[in-house]
Amino acid sequence: MNPLLKVEELNKHFPLTPPQNVFKRWARLNHQTSYLHAVDNVSFTLNKGESLGLVGESGCGKSTLVRLLTRLLDPSGGRILFNDRHIGEVQAKEFALHPERAKIQQVFQDPTDSLNPRFTAFECIADPLKRLEKLNGLALQNRVEGIATQVSLPLTLLERYPHQLSGGQKLRVGIARGIALQPDLLILDEPTSALDVSVQAVILKLLDKLRCELGLSYLFVSHDLNVVRLLCDRVMVMYLGKIVEIGPVEEIFQRPRHPYTKALIAAVSHFDAGGPVQRVRLQGELSSPVDPDPHACRFYGRCPVRENRCLKQMPELEETGIHRSACLLSQSG
Ligand SMILES: Nc1ncnc2c1ncn2[C@@H]1O[C@H](COP(=O)(O)OP(=O)(O)O)[C@@H](O)[C@H]1O
Ligand code: SF4
Ligand SMILES: [Mg+2]
């Protein structure tokens, strides 16, 4: 195993100013600040050439984790090592000038928001090459056209503006921009969630091909386990800021251990068996991410197999093994 990215005990706790904090009015009276634990003590490794999936429901902290890794946000604690360099220690506003900056690229959730509406597709792809590799003229044109061909974007579309492109074409421009600087790691935050199923399948094939051709590593974020299954070697499951299960994707599908992962897979299996896509239905009360009880399992309120001890001991991910989970029951079983 050859680690490209090592994340150790990473945290992002957003301080809540009293007017926003409707959950904890008493805090205002006591002049205490409350914190929303968006990413809480997260540790994992991503190996060179690997595609690692990150799944979890909306609001569980996926995009915050991505913004920490791409250094758009400063962590509240913990370490991020990329190519053995401590990039978490570099201030977010200084990371643009860091030598590792070009090696971590992101494809955003909504290409409409991430592409400059005043740039043509050519200019969107050319922009990082002009700024960071100082390319211009014919060399720039050849490079942009080469990248467009790699992502199967017809060259005739390069003069179009984002609003003149379809969703799939805009995403190809976003992917082209992401690979332009020949990164080691491409982070894809729900890239296909806005596309219809047939376009999504074509884009997933393209991403798989690019990974082999360019030797890329992926962190692929999705709320859809089926999509992750198609593209990823391993998967991490996130719940309210914490990684609750991690392992090889087929192993997780065949033998999920955490009750939350089991619920996600049950919804997917129903779809595979010919039924309609089901929303993950969990009974009970969703815990608040604001000042969560450090001694209780975050999933307690919705867990179908909870026990009293789950309120007294926060389960952490098992320390070793290729398939690890954070549930007191699966660990003692
Ligand atoms: N800048 C911020 N300030 C305060 N809370 C935030 C901020 N960004 C995200 N959050 C909160 O952090 C949690 C995780 O959000 P996010 O990372 O966007 O989740 P996901 O991508 O899984 O939907 C949510 O409760 C969200 O409201
Ligand atoms: S630790 Fe307890 S509450 Fe948490 S997931 Fe496991 S059984 Fe459920
Ligand atoms: Mg998100």
Task: Give DSSP secondary structure letters for 235-284.
Answer: EEEEETTEEEEEEEHHHHHHS--SHHHHHHHHHHHHHHTTPPPPPP---S
Q: Which atom of ligand 2 is nearest to the CA of 300?
A: 3
Establish whether residue 241 lines the binding site of ligand 2, counting it when its CB lies within 6 angstroms of any ligand atom.
no
Length of the chain equals 333
Secondary structure of residue 309 in the 3-state scheme: helix
Check if the beta carbon of residue 132 is closer than 8 Å to that of residue 181: yes
Q: Which atom of ligand 2 is nearest to the CA of 313?
A: 1
Task: Check residue 181 and give its pLDDT.
Answer: 95
Backbone region of residue 134 per phi and psi (left: phi > 0; alpha: psi in -120 to 50; beta: other values): left
**Residue 271 banded pLDDT, cuts 50, 70, 90:** low
Which protein residue has the closest C-alpha to ligand 2 atom 7? 306
Provide the pairing of β-strand 234-239 with 242-248.
Answer: antiparallel
Going along the chain from its start, the domains and CATH numbers come out as: 3-332 (3.40.50.300)
With a pLDDT cut of 90, the percent of the chain lying above it is 75
Expressed in angstroms and rounded, the spacing between residue 39 Cα and the centre of ligand 1 is 9
Provide the pairing of β-strand 34-47 with 3-16.
Answer: antiparallel
Establish whether residue 107 lines the binding site of ligand 2, counting it when its CB lies within 6 angstroms of any ligand atom.
no
Establish whether residue 73 lines the binding site of ligand 1, counting it when its CB lies within 6 angstroms of any ligand atom.
no
Establish whether residue 36 lines the binding site of ligand 1, counting it when its CB lies within 6 angstroms of any ligand atom.
yes
Establish whether residue 38 lines the binding site of ligand 1, counting it when its CB lies within 6 angstroms of any ligand atom.
yes
Secondary structure of residue 47 in the 3-state scheme: strand
Q: How far is CA 306 from CA 213, 224, 255, 317, in A?
A: 46, 25, 19, 17
In this structure, the number of other CB atoms found within 10 A of the CB of residue 123 comes to 16
| Window from 56-70, 173-187, 277-291 with minimum mean pLDDT | 277-291
Task: Check residue 298 and give its pLDDT.
Answer: 96
**Residue 28 banded pLDDT, cuts 50, 70, 90:** low
Residue that the structure tokens 């946000």 belong to? 73
Q: Is the pLDDT of residue 333 over 90?
A: no
Q: Which atom of ligand 2 is nearest to the CA of 309?
A: 2
Expressed in angstroms and rounded, the spacing between residue 39 Cα and the centre of ligand 2 is 19
Establish whether residue 62 lines the binding site of ligand 1, counting it when its CB lies within 6 angstroms of any ligand atom.
yes
Burial group, residue 66, by CB count within 10 angstroms (0-12, 13-18, 19+): buried
